[in-house]
Structure 1
Amino acid sequence: MKQKKYILLIAVISLFLTGCEDFLDRPPKTNMNDETTWVNEKNIRLYANKFYPGFSVSGTFYPGFFMGYGSGWTNSYSPLLGYTFSDDVVHNGNQGNFTRSVPNSQVWSMVVIRSINIMIDRIENKMGNVLTEEEYTHWMGIGRFFRAMRYSELVLSYGDVPYYDHVVSDTDMDDLYKPRTPRNEVMDAVYDDLQYAFQNVRINDGEMNVNRYVVAGFISRIALHEGTWQKYYYKNNDRANKFLQLAIEAGDYVINSNKYDIVTEFRELFTSEDLKGNKDCIMYRHYDPAVGVTHSVASYNNVSESINYGPTANLIKSFILNDGKVWQNSTMDGAKNFELANVIKTRDPRFEGTFYDKPTSKNRGSYWYVNKFLPRSVAKSVEAGNAPPVEFTSINNRTDYPVLRYAEVLLNWIEAKAESGSSTVTQDDLNKTINKIRNRPIAPEAEAMGVQKTAPLLLAELPDDPARDIDVSPLLWEIRRERRMEFAFEYSRIADLERWYKLEYMDTDNNIDLLHGGWVNFPKEATSELTTGNTGKFSIMKLNGEEVTYNGGNNNDMVGFYRTSSTNGRQPFLNQVNINPYLSPVGRTQMDDYASKGYVLQQTEGWPQN
């Protein structure tokens, strides 16, 4: 089973299914009686609420669309823990592999789709005389928005998938075993659902509920992904522009509302206990121990716990300096000095906002500790020898999560404009997106360490990055860099690499930076915990690429990017026969099940058909 993102991102894409009833998974329609449920708006809301955090059927959990940090120990779909498979993350051990062979059992789950279609069907056929026109169109918009969200997830993973816009009868074999619907047809239906939701969902429906701004924000994400996928994977510019224009339109709606802004210091967005009213947040998830809603993500981020993964040297090098230039070209003092304290001073403030300010053996994968989801005050208290406060241990975490940030909409919008064949990016566009984000406040603790705001990105003076791919324009390269800095250890990096058709960035054979972590100056920074008894167990890589292994007596030469001896690259996955790392295969069991009923289930493109 692949270590790839959608094992974590998509709701249960690896179900072990057999017969036709299991194949379509028949969950209870609702906890209430179906005949008495669809009688008022309150009951629709109760039904729809399960799609927020997720729900369970027969012991299987189906993640919701707004998981936040997860709940309790359930954190596989959360930032930090749920997204450790990308070129941003190095593991102490074997790096995660892409799927390299067709599994015995794996297929899309239709549980969530069926449940959403039940909601849409009942609103349409049982509530026409119950709801006002406004209520009807709003809740139909919510249902169609959820359906679009789920199908966009399935398509991201599998490409062609069976499309259902109705409740399937468990006796209709032709429907149960229908062939895969072409991706473009599915995404056209998604497009229509998104448009309907965009036009009909309420502008305001109460705190933490989906409203039209939330819809628009997620449209900007979904449409940007599909537009760039079409452009780079299928090379279909017409379809690309269709979706890119939708992303621009949705972004325009959010931006022009003037409801949102970039006014919050970066780390505070992830460490606040109350994001209500925060203008940086279009949607957030609130955690409250008084009602038993807590999480555990910060417990893995509290400087006290040991973790085996951290930032790659590749990610570290990608952060822009605060003069707006790349490290190879900057004339700033210390531009080429990668000691952590110096990098914090010279790089974009999001660097300090993402990492603990000292190398530590608590992170054996990288020696640099991800600290994005922990208050600085807690990190300093632990550093002083204190135990983490109880609310940052176990499943007692109560910090809110910004599910959809205004910064994301701004970056989705500017990228869609840059990718669209019918739009031109202006300096004003950069000023109201990337440069607005760069101008966010800096925490006093960060200022005390020398952190400064990054210079504006100027169209006339785009950085000349020697690492830039020749097929990516300087402007797009910088927009992509901005996403990487903004969303490190959140949801997007592996999905971004796929939609840009750039999974070669994950190739450890051709990018040794992926196997190295933070820079450590051992004569100044290394502890006896690391060096004692560890001869031959780690090495460093200097800026010139020279690898030096620790031999017990060469401390003075151990200055460079850290790597443990157990850190190994991933297996080849590109240009391999019958392997398509961009899309997931379905299992042999599922294909055999179709065949046993007289139907044909085609294998995913790029995988062997038998």
Structure 2
Amino acid sequence: MKTKYIVVYAVLLLLFSSCDKFLDRPPLTELDDNTNGWTSEEKIRMYADKYYADFFNGYGIAFNYGTAPMASSTNTDDVVSLGNQANFTRSVPNSGIWSYANIRSLNIMLDRIETRMGDILSEDAKAHWTAVGKFFRAFRYCELVQSYGDVPYYDFELFDADFDELYKPRTPRNEVMNHVYDDWQYVLENIRTSDGDDQKLNRYIAAGFISRLALNEASWQKYYYNNPTQAKKFYELAVETAQIDISSGKYDIVTDYKSLFTSKDLKGNKDMVLYRGYDAALGVTHAIASQCNLSESTNNGPTTDLLKAYLCTDGQTWGNSAVANASEFDLTSMIQSRDPRFEATFYSKPNLLNRSALFYVTKYFSREAEESVATGKGLPTEFTSNRNETDAPVLRYAEVLLNWIEAKAELAGMGGAAVTQDDLDKSINKIRNRPLAAEAISRGVQKLPVLSLGALPNDPDRDVSVSPLLWEIRRERRLEFVFETNRLEDLRRWSKLEYMDNDQNTDLLSGGWVNFPTELADELDPKNIGVLSVIDKDGTETIYDGTNDTDMEGFYKHQSNRPRLPFLNQANMNPYLSPVGLVQMDEYVIRGYELTQTEGWPQN
């Protein structure tokens, strides 16, 4: 899918620059809004195409990562970083506020469909493109409320002199999301089932994304706002929309895990609800795979906490499993005894290029290229710099299934129907039964058994506030989307940022298991005295002192791995929602209005 962009020809002068800063509005352009701009369905299609890159980022473009995996997933409990762990915002910034650029542009689109294209579009086309506009607008409002909570709501075009609207108070989150809910209902009823290309927005793509966004909102309402009525409403919508894709027969789990992220052509792949295509011949490439190409060093690696989360091949946690070497964490043992997604995610030997954890992430690096590097044949050019051309999953069917089962499990706890074994078989167990790559099988990798309602793992590390079933559903999400973009979003919506507190969880500062004397003996050198340490399974740390070589086996911890600053229960700080800036608050006052600060942050 090649994303088209509208070229900006001329910037119109704005009456008040401060208004522009507030809304971050894009200028209108000749191509967008002159009398010839709304004269055919093809032109409105071209107008709508510009939103694909904003909302469906994939792996980004060149070195412009955006929300791409590996680039935006480092601040979670899955990732340990060499140096200080990424901190949450700890004070109100001098300047900073929401962007309404896309909201304004989409409201213009919706207005022009209604006011200028009545005699141009058929009723079907008008309804479809209105649905497309409302889908993207709702998507953006979901992003805004997840960041800021209450935000101003606009469903019409704003002008520079509309001060009462430009500076109006923040609209309560529930009111905003009720508008979004109504937009989604319109989308589901009116968007086309096909717009001529499976990778153009249609009912199934829209339904898949709505299942994600509705689940997010439902979780926020249940766990953060304690509003079961709103939560139930959005959980039910998440189930309904996921069911649209499940019932369609269009999608399936048919591809081995690693190939989902390393394929040069995802066209026709039934695992994909939406992907972003890349093609070097068209000059459309990215750089994500270059971050895990076994040739570049990286400061980010897996936490011990993440490694302990992988189930063994009998479906049990490592401490309860009867599988051979279940309690071992060296790479060979984990590849043979753990969830097959582990083997597809990490290189098979400790690697010094991963400086924080020694377990090198190769999830986005093809097996063929990995073999080329490992055997000394060299790194293929396409996996260097920003020359990568592997296609990017944007929305996978596996996510739709996990959205569906999580929402059903939540509803079961709110008076809804109980989750059945059939529900698990259609979702988690379908994912677990995906094919294994031949290379994985040759290494001894085995599929996980089915998740059974009657024999859920007894995990001693389970958060006691989470039911055993939900705990396993959440585990499945964590490992299915590891090093993608979901984990921090999930922790926020579950109100579980405490999992990222280093004081509560010291496994966040160490990485993979290493036996220095047998695997990396050259590192036991005077230059690393006081630099290297290992932590055993009981949590005892041994720092290298130059004389204790034989003791240097355990979870690797570089002494530069430092905890993030405290962020829970801090006065005038809310890690769940973002504050607005002092400059913007003062600007409101100057204009004779008031901007209230985000919940949990100081007003002044």
- Which residue of structure 1 lines up, in the alignment, with residue 8 of structure 2? none
Post-superposition offset of 1:541: 0.6
Alignment pair present for 1:260 and 2:251: yes
The structure-2 alpha-carbon separation of the partners of 1:590 and 1:330, relative to structure 1 and needing over 3 Å to count, comes to: same
2:524–2:546 CA contact under 8 A, matched in 1: no
2:516–2:524 CA contact under 8 A, matched in 1: no
The structure-2 alpha-carbon separation of the partners of 1:31 and 1:540, relative to structure 1 and needing over 3 Å to count, comes to: farther
Alignment pair present for 1:472 and 2:463: no
- Which residue of structure 2 lines up, in the alignment, with residue 373 of structure 1? 364
- Which residue of structure 2 lines up, in the alignment, with residue 24 of structure 1? 23
Give the aligned residue type for 1:26. R
Question: C-alpha offsets along residues 105-151 of structure 1, whole Å, 9 cap, x if unaligned?
Answer: 01001111111111111111111111001100110000000000000
Question: C-alpha offsets along residues 69-98 of structure 1, whole Å, 9 cap, x if unaligned?
Answer: 000111132011121110000000000111
Give the aligned residue type for 2:301. G
Quote the Cα distance in structure 2 between the aligned partners of 1:233 and 1:69. Answer: 31
- Which residue of structure 1 lines up, in the alignment, with residue 234 of structure 2? 243
Give the aligned residue type for 1:175. E
The structure-2 alpha-carbon separation of the partners of 1:530 and 1:440, relative to structure 1 and needing over 3 Å to count, comes to: farther
Q: 1:557 aligns with which of 551, 557, 560?
A: 551
- Which residue of structure 2 lines up, in the alignment, with residue 437 of structure 1? 431
Q: 2:313 aligns with which of 306, 309, 322?
A: 322
Post-superposition offset of 1:169: 1.2
- Which residue of structure 2 lines up, in the alignment, with residue 88 of structure 1? 78
Give the aligned residue type for 2:192. R
Question: C-alpha offsets along residues 145-193 of structure 1, whole Å, 9 cap, x if unaligned?
Answer: 0000000001100000111101101111101101100000111111111
Post-superposition offset of 1:260: 0.6
- When the two chains are superposed, the root-mean-square deviation of aligned CA atoms in Å is 1.2
Provide the secondary structure at the position in 1 that maps to 2:58: coil
- Which residue of structure 2 lines up, in the alignment, with residue 79 of structure 1? 69
Give the aligned residue type for 2:477. R
Counting only pairs closer than 5 Å after superposition, residues 193-272 of structure 1 correspond to structure 2 as: 193-205=183-195, 206-272=197-263
Alignment pair present for 1:127 and 2:126: no
Question: C-alpha offsets along residues 276-322 of structure 1, whole Å, 9 cap, x if unaligned?
Answer: 00000011111011111000110111010000011000000001111
Quote the Cα distance in structure 2 between the aligned partners of 1:254 and 1:569. Answer: 42
- Which residue of structure 2 lines up, in the alignment, with residue 13 of structure 1? none
Quote the Cα distance in structure 1 between the aligned partners of 2:30 and 2:402. Answer: 40
- Which residue of structure 2 lines up, in the alignment, with residue 8 of structure 1? none
Post-superposition offset of 1:25: 2.8
Give the aligned residue type for 1:433. S
Q: 2:304 aligns with which of 303, 313, 320?
A: 313
Quote the Cα distance in structure 2 between the aligned partners of 1:359 and 1:119. Answer: 53
Give the aligned residue type for 2:83. G
Alignment pair present for 1:116 and 2:106: yes
Q: 2:327 aligns with which of 326, 336, 343?
A: 336
Over 3 Å off, 4+ runs: 529-532
- Which residue of structure 2 lines up, in the alignment, with residue 11 of structure 1? none
Post-superposition offset of 1:198: 1.3
Alignment pair present for 1:145 and 2:135: yes
- Which residue of structure 2 lines up, in the alignment, with residue 539 of structure 1? 533
Provide the secondary structure at the position in 2 that maps to 1:52: helix
Provide the secondary structure at the position in 1 that maps to 2:52: coil
1:71–1:293 CA contact under 8 A, matched in 2: yes
Alignment pair present for 1:182 and 2:181: no
The structure-2 alpha-carbon separation of the partners of 1:542 and 1:136, relative to structure 1 and needing over 3 Å to count, comes to: same
Alignment pair present for 1:428 and 2:422: yes
Post-superposition offset of 1:383: 1.6
- Which residue of structure 1 lines up, in the alignment, with residue 34 of structure 2? 34
Question: C-alpha offsets along residues 439-486 of structure 1, whole Å, 9 cap, x if unaligned?
Answer: 000001011110000010000000000001111000000000000010
- Which residue of structure 1 lines up, in the alignment, with residue 403 of structure 2? 412
The structure-2 alpha-carbon separation of the partners of 1:531 and 1:209, relative to structure 1 and needing over 3 Å to count, comes to: farther
Q: 1:460 aligns with which of 454, 477, 484?
A: 454
Post-superposition offset of 1:424: 1.6
Provide the secondary structure at the position in 1 that maps to 2:55: coil
Post-superposition offset of 1:532: 5.6
- Which residue of structure 2 lines up, in the alignment, with residue 3 of structure 1? none
Identical-residue share of aligned pairs (%): 58
Give the aligned residue type for 2:107. N
The structure-2 alpha-carbon separation of the partners of 1:26 and 1:227, relative to structure 1 and needing over 3 Å to count, comes to: closer
2:524–2:549 CA contact under 8 A, matched in 1: no
Quote the Cα distance in structure 2 between the aligned partners of 1:531 and 1:91. Answer: 23
Quote the Cα distance in structure 1 between the aligned partners of 2:525 and 2:189. Answer: 62
Provide the secondary structure at the position in 2 that maps to 1:186: helix
Alignment pair present for 1:574 and 2:568: yes
Post-superposition offset of 1:386: 3.3
What is the TM-score normalised by the length of structure 1? 0.94
Question: C-alpha offsets along residues 198-237 of structure 1, whole Å, 9 cap, x if unaligned?
Answer: 1111111114211111100001100000001101111111
1:361–1:530 CA contact under 8 A, matched in 2: no
Post-superposition offset of 1:431: 0.2
Post-superposition offset of 1:382: 0.9
Provide the secondary structure at the position in 2 that maps to 1:255: helix
Post-superposition offset of 1:510: 1.2
Aligned residues: 584
1:280–1:407 CA contact under 8 A, matched in 2: yes
- Which residue of structure 1 lines up, in the alignment, with residue 3 of structure 2? none
Give the aligned residue type for 1:609. Q
Quote the Cα distance in structure 1 between the aligned partners of 2:177 and 2:417. Answer: 23
Question: C-alpha offsets along residues 564-590 of structure 1, whole Å, 9 cap, x if unaligned?
Answer: 111100111101111111000001111
Counting only pairs closer than 5 Å after superposition, residues 467-546 of structure 1 correspond to structure 2 as: 467-529=461-523, 531=525, 533-546=527-540
- Which residue of structure 1 lines up, in the alignment, with residue 160 of structure 2? 170
Quote the Cα distance in structure 2 between the aligned partners of 1:102 and 1:25. Answer: 20
Counting only pairs closer than 5 Å after superposition, residues 343-422 of structure 1 correspond to structure 2 as: 343-420=334-411, 421=414, 422=416
Query: Structure 1 regions of 5+ residues with no counterpart?
Result: 1-16, 54-63
Post-superposition offset of 1:530: 6.6
Q: 2:91 aligns with which of 101, 115, 122?
A: 101
Post-superposition offset of 1:259: 1.0
Quote the Cα distance in structure 2 between the aligned partners of 1:463 and 1:531. Answer: 43
1:283–1:402 CA contact under 8 A, matched in 2: yes
- 70-79 vs 17-26, which deviates more? 17-26
Alignment pair present for 1:592 and 2:586: yes
